[in-house]
A and B are shown apart, each in its own frame.
Chain A
Amino acid sequence: MSYLLLTLLLLPLVGSGIVFTWKNASSKYVALAIALVQMLLTFYVAADFDFAPTVDSVLQYEINYPWSQFIKSTLHFGIDGMSLLLLLLTNILMPIIILSSFNENVSYRNTFYGLILLMQFGLIGVFTSLDGLLFYIFWEVTLIPIWFIAALWGQENKRFEFTTKFFVYTFVGSLFMLAGLIYVGIHSASFALTDLYNANLGDTQQVVVFWMIFFAFAVKLPVFPFHTWQPDTYTYSPTQGSMLLSGIMLKMAIYGVLRYLLPITPSAILGISGQIVIILAIVGIVHGALIAIIQTDMKRIIAYSSFSHVGLMVAGIFASAVVTLRGTFNVEGAEGALVQTFAHGINVVGLFYCCDILYKRFKSRDIRQMGGLAKVAPKFAVLFLIIILGSMGVPLTNGFIGEFILIKSIFSFNVLATVIAGLTVILCAVYLLRFYGKAMFGKGDDAVLSTARDLSAVEFSVLASIAVFVIVMGIFPQPIIDMVGSSVQFIYKSLVS
């Protein structure tokens, strides 16, 4: 029984209740305070965490309560290295996301911040639950707030169509996952994680379950060809919505693949299904990057770039799994994907914030109408560049190390796949540098530039903290690899055993 984990889980829920009923004007400070407390608590957990546990005790801070006989489920939570990484990501990004909205005149503030905190509650539940059904429930809990955020505070009138499309897409995926999880749960008599791992499904059953569960993750990630909701939703959501979606929410699926999909259906992954997923992911990498190159709407560039980056993570995870199942133990893909999860989360939040700043200066999302901002906003130019370089994966930034490990893991699977997947590095440089060049240099509209300001204090603090992460993590990536090492090994060992 760990009161610390219980606090981490319930604080955002209680906090959202408080913020919902708080006075409109000052609710943002309350929300920020709660998010900061939550962040400090997570740091405390991380400092207190035993990073070199033996394999059978990867879990720490466990909570295990009986819940319901009716649904054969338990209230079982716990943290291992992988959960801790995603908890850190969530709780570091939340204050940044809340802070990023401080300059804006958000309508119905208390509802807005209340929903963000509610979302945080769901996310932490997803990352710490150790019961299949509990996982599903929290997975869905995150969907309602983000849908309201995207639909209520989105930018254009078309937002209803796109957000409904998003909701229906993800809901369809989730329902199939639910059916898959129930199927496994029935065959193992309970939904506890260890029972799910030992479900002993036959080969055909595993293939069915694999695709049912994977469908949910494929939509959320998104993996080609389930991505069509993503660019529209990212574009029409408010900045904070896009940040939540791409920074944290899609990581739920990476986490889900590692925690649930791989250990439950190893033989399906060794079979044709695993290879289909790798091919889809690699198609997505190239497809996303190529489309990003021809986009003119900056939010769409980021959306497609995110789609392309996620493809690499998925390909890496599955490549490692297939290689491991074929007999050579290999966890590089999973480690790389988790490192990249953390880096990408931070970078993409930074990029969306930069888009927001650019939008405020130029009053347009079209990069063809931008130019020359570097002259009047040098501070912004530097911080923006650091984040762009991080996203491109230039050495000594946080994006590099994950990308490197991922490509290495795909190499051990197939050389041709590596060459195609490696294109992401080049193509990413093309579209991001083109975006940066257009926006910051070149010939700008003098009328716009004469009124444009450099960063305000809030903007500076948000971007600077992100830039610090980009560089520090780029130089010292080892702590993160250590953090996830033992839990990833535990999962991959359970694949072969």
Chain B
Amino acid sequence: MSVLIIVFLTAVAALFSGVFEKGKLARYIGILGLMIALVVSFFPQAEFLNQYKAMYNYSDNAALFTKISLVTTLLLFFLGGFAFSNHRSHQSELYALMLFALCGGITIFGFQNLVTLFIGIEILSIPLYVMAGANKTDLRSNEASIKYFLMGAFATGFLLFGIAFIYGSTGSFDLMNIQDFSIAHPGNIMFTIGVIMILCAMSFKVALAPFHMWSPDVYYGSPSLITAFMASVVKISGFFALFKMMSIGFVGVTEQWIDILGVFVIITLLLANVMGLAQTNAKRMLAYSSVSHAGYIGLIFFGMNAMSSYTLAFYLFAYSLATVGVFMCLIYVEKIKREASYEAFKGLAKSEPLLAVVTAISLLSMAGIPLTAGFMGKFSLFAQALGNDDNVGIVLVAVLGSAISIAYYLRLIIAMFFFKETTFKTAEKATITYNIVAVFVIASLVVFGVFPDLFAKVFAFAG
């Protein structure tokens, strides 16, 4: 709870700093606040707000996911100085909105009650609608904002409708009461409709096909740093909400939603990877790659066991780190070349070797090549699903999906390493914070890829 308060106060401070200064100050305030929040999140939380336990519970899981989203946001804030350096105005508001969205995420991590869930999701989403349109002069950014808002409103409608059905059948918003009800009355039609509504709404949020249509356009149109935020922190929050809802609240009626979710996952894996292959623009490719990762993460619901939430956290963290790694390079290239096609990346390895290496390792991690954290994440997802013989088919689809995905990840690596280009030589150099983030991302991806148990030591068993 105190983490949430700290992040919220930081956001308010960042927002008001815009009165005095155009943006630098907000970024520093954000970095400081996030660091404090990160430190605090490692300590046991004071129980001074016990009366909220039924609404919000900062459990071990909540702590774990809070920590990984704080780390990711912090990395993005470090990149902000470079990313927004030629944004003319409203920078402090953007930083503040990012922090507000993070508040929404943290609210989701601790939800014990569907009302908290709904509030969390709205706090997360509304700032995003604004941030997607941050490039006011860019038509694509406006389009992204409108599209995201309309689709988000749809999803909200579904969610509310679903919650209403759940409340109608159980008479309670409390997660534990819903769980009891789902175990006691597995055949209740009204409850089942509610479950499916909520499943669809959450699939919108995490961009699982067939509810993914908004995401490539929104990812493409938004400013790249915001896209990185959507692909990492928002995905962490959305998936955690879906996971907690399905695995705790609706655990009694698993048979009724698991097949539907299985269809979503299979469509996602095939569609997103094939579409990713067809892209010529790196940013759009990454958007489809993000959709495809929603498909891999969807495997978490198959063959669930006691380690599932930990596996989910590991995969999401590995994926977020890789996202930060790729997007920092994308931001750099976009700034110099004003576009992000594969062509624009040609020759990057010559002028900015560190950036090229961090991108390559991140892409290999996304593809699941061994000795990266992404491999360990994918491995544990597959392993969990294969614990049950019924899931062999869906894992094979996931395998096929990753096999397709390697082709488009390689294209970016080929462009960076195997061509020489002179445009970069005279260009602006990446800043020192940039290099620090790059080294951090490389080190984390490799270290967690070689020693996966370290993740538990660092993140899971403190606080």
Interface residues of A (CB under 8 A from B): 67-71, 133, 136-138, 140-141, 143-144, 148, 151-152, 160, 164, 167-168, 171-172, 175-176, 178-179, 182-183, 185-186, 205, 208
Instruction: List, in ascending order, chain B residues with CB within 8 A of A144's CB.
Output: 364, 369
Query: Which B residues between 276 and 331 are near A, CB-CB below 8 angstroms?
Result: 307, 310, 314
Identify the closest chain B residue to A202 (Cβ): B389
The interface residues of chain A lying within 8 Å CB-to-CB of B376 are 70-71
Task: Please give, as numbers and ranges, the residues of chain B lying within 8 Å of A186 by CB-CB distance.
Answer: 383, 386-387
Neighbouring B residues of A70 by C-beta, 8 Å: 307, 310, 314, 376, 380, 452-453, 455-456
List the 6 shortest-distance A-B pairs measured between CB atoms, nearest first. A137-B370, A172-B403, A140-B370, A70-B452, A175-B399, A68-B453
Provide the residues of chain B in CB contact with A133, threshold 8 Å.
379
- Taken residue by residue from 365 to 396, chain B's Cβ proximity to chain A (1 for < 8 Å, 0 otherwise) reads as 00111110001100110110011010010011
Q: CB distance A136 to B370 under 8 Å?
A: yes
Is residue B417 contacting chain A, with contact meaning CB distance below 8 A? yes
- Residues of A near B402 (CB, < 8 A) are 175
From the candidates B370, B396, B418, name the one contacting A152 in the complex (CB within 8 A): B418
Neighbour of A168 across the interface among B380, B406, B455, B456, CB < 8 A: B406
- A selection of 17 A-B contacts at a CB cut-off of 8 Å is A68-B453, A70-B307, A70-B380, A133-B379, A137-B371, A138-B370, A144-B364, A144-B369, A164-B410, A168-B403, A172-B400, A175-B399, A178-B382, A178-B399, A179-B396, A182-B382, A185-B383
Measured in the bound complex, the distance between the Cα atoms of B388 and A186 in whole Å is: 9
Q: Is A151's CB under 8 angstroms from B414's CB?
A: yes
| Residue in B375, B387, B406 whose CB lies within 8 Å of A171 | B406
How many angstroms from the CA of A127 to the CA of B314 in the assembled complex?
Answer: 30
Task: Tell me what chain B mostly uses at the interface: helix, strand, loop, or mixed.
Answer: helix
Chain B residues near A160: list those with CB within 8 A.
Answer: 414, 418
Is there an interface contact between B406 and A167, defined as CB atoms closer than 8 Å? yes
Chain B interface size, as a band, is 35 or more
Quick one: which of A69, A164, A182, A183 contacts B407, CB cutoff 8 A?
Answer: A164
CA distance A392 to B275 in the complex (A): 48
Interface contact B410-A167, CB-CB below 8 Å: yes
Q: A68-B451, A178-B379, A179-B382 are in contact. List 8 more A-B contacts (CB 8 A).
A: A133-B379, A140-B371, A167-B410, A175-B403, A176-B399, A179-B396, A182-B386, A205-B389
CA distance A208 to B369 in the complex (A): 23
**Contacts of B396 on A, CB cut-off 8 Å?**
176, 179
Partner of A141, one of B371, B392, B411: B371
How far is A205 from B379 in the complex, measured between Cα atoms in Å? 20
Set of chain B residues within 8 Å of A185, measured between Cβ atoms: 383
- What is the CA–CA distance of A186 and B411 in the complex, to the nearest angstrom? 34
Cβ distance A77 to chain B, nearest Cβ, rounded Å: 15
- Chain A: CB-nearest residue to B379: A71
Smallest CB gap from A143: residue in B = B369
Query: Which residues of A lie under 8 Å from residue B400 when comparing CB positions?
Result: 172
Closest to A191 in B: B383
Query: CB within 8 A of B452: which of A71, A138, A176, A208?
Result: A71
Whether the pair B383, A182 counts as a contact (CB closer than 8 A) is yes
Chain A's nearest CB lies how many Å from the CB of B274? 14
Q: Which residues of A contact B387 (CB under 8 A)?
A: 186
Instruction: With A68-B453, A137-B371, A178-B382 as known contacts, state yes or no: A152 contacts B417, CB within 8 Å.
Output: yes
Name the distance in Å between A114's Cβ and chain B's nearest Cβ.
13
Name the distance in Å between A16's Cβ and chain B's nearest Cβ.
Answer: 14
- Inter-chain CA distance A148–B416, complex, in Å, is 12
Alpha-carbon distance between A143 and B396 when the two chains are bound, in angstroms: 22
Closest residue of chain A to B307 (Cβ to Cβ) is A70
CA distance A114 to B368 in the complex (A): 23
Bound-state Cα–Cα, A144 to B370, Å: 10
Interface centre among A67, A136, A171, A176 (most CB of B within 10 A): A171
B446 to chain A: closest CB distance in Å?
Answer: 12
CB < 8 Å: which of B307, B380, B386, B414 contacts A183? B386
A68, A69, A151, A208: the one contacting B418 at CB < 8 Å is: A151
User: How far is A176 from B398 in the complex, measured between Cα atoms in Å?
Assistant: 10
CA distance A138 to B371 in the complex (A): 9
List the A side residues contacting B456 at CB < 8 Å: 70
A353 to B190, CA, bound (A): 74
CA distance A185 to B379 in the complex (A): 12
CB distance from B110 to the nearest CB of A (A): 25
Residues 173 to 226 of chain B near chain A (Cβ within 8 Å): none
The answer for the CA separation of A202 and B369 in the assembled complex, in Å, is: 30
Q: Which residues of B contact A172 (CB under 8 A)?
A: 400, 403
For B371, the chain A residues whose CB sits under 8 A away are 137, 140-141
Task: Give B328-374 interface residues, CB cut-off 8 Å to A.
Answer: 364, 367-371
The residues of A that contact B364 with a CB separation of less than 8 Å are 144
Query: What is the distance, in angstroms, from A83's C-beta to the closest C-beta of chain B?
Result: 20
Known A168-B406, A171-B403; contact A179-B395, beta-carbon cutoff 8 A: yes
Q: Are B418 and A168 in contact (CB under 8 A)?
A: no
| A209 → chain B closest CB, angstroms | 10
Contact B410 A69 (CB under 8 A): no
Asked if residues B383 and A208 are in contact (CB atoms below 8 Å), the reply is no
Q: How far is the CA of A171 from the CA of B409 in the complex (A)?
A: 13
| Chain B: minimal CB distance from A2 (Å) | 21
Q: With both chains docked as a complex, state the minimum distance between the C-beta of B363 and any C-beta of chain A, in angstroms.
A: 12
Contacts of B407 in A (CB 8 A): 164, 168
| Minimum C-beta distance from A115 to chain B (A) | 12
Query: In the complex the two chains form, what is the Cα distance from A148 to B364 in whole Å?
Result: 13
User: Hey, which chain A residues are within 8 Å of B382, CB to CB?
Assistant: 178-179, 182
**Residue from B383, B403, B452 having most chain A Cβ neighbours under 10 A:** B383
Q: 1/0 per residue B430-463: CB within 8 Å of A?
A: 0000000000000000000001110110000000
- B453: A residues at CB distance < 8 A: 67-70
**Quick check: A179 and B370 within 8 Å, CB to CB?**
no
Give per-residue flags for B412-435: 1 if the beta carbon is below 8 A from chain A beta carbons, else 0: 001001100000000000000000
B185 to chain A, nearest CB (A): 33
Can you list, as one digit per residue, whether each of B77-102 has a CB less than 8 Å from chain A (1) or not (0)?
Answer: 00000000000000000000000000
Give the distance to chain A from B56, nearest Cβ to Cβ, in Å: 29
Residues of B within 8 A of A164 (CB): 407, 410-411, 414
Return chain A residues, CB-CB under 8 Å to B368: 175
CB distance from A132 to the nearest CB of B (A): 11
In angstroms, how far is the closest chain A Cβ from the Cβ of B83?
30
Query: A226 CB to closest chain B CB, in angstroms?
Result: 14
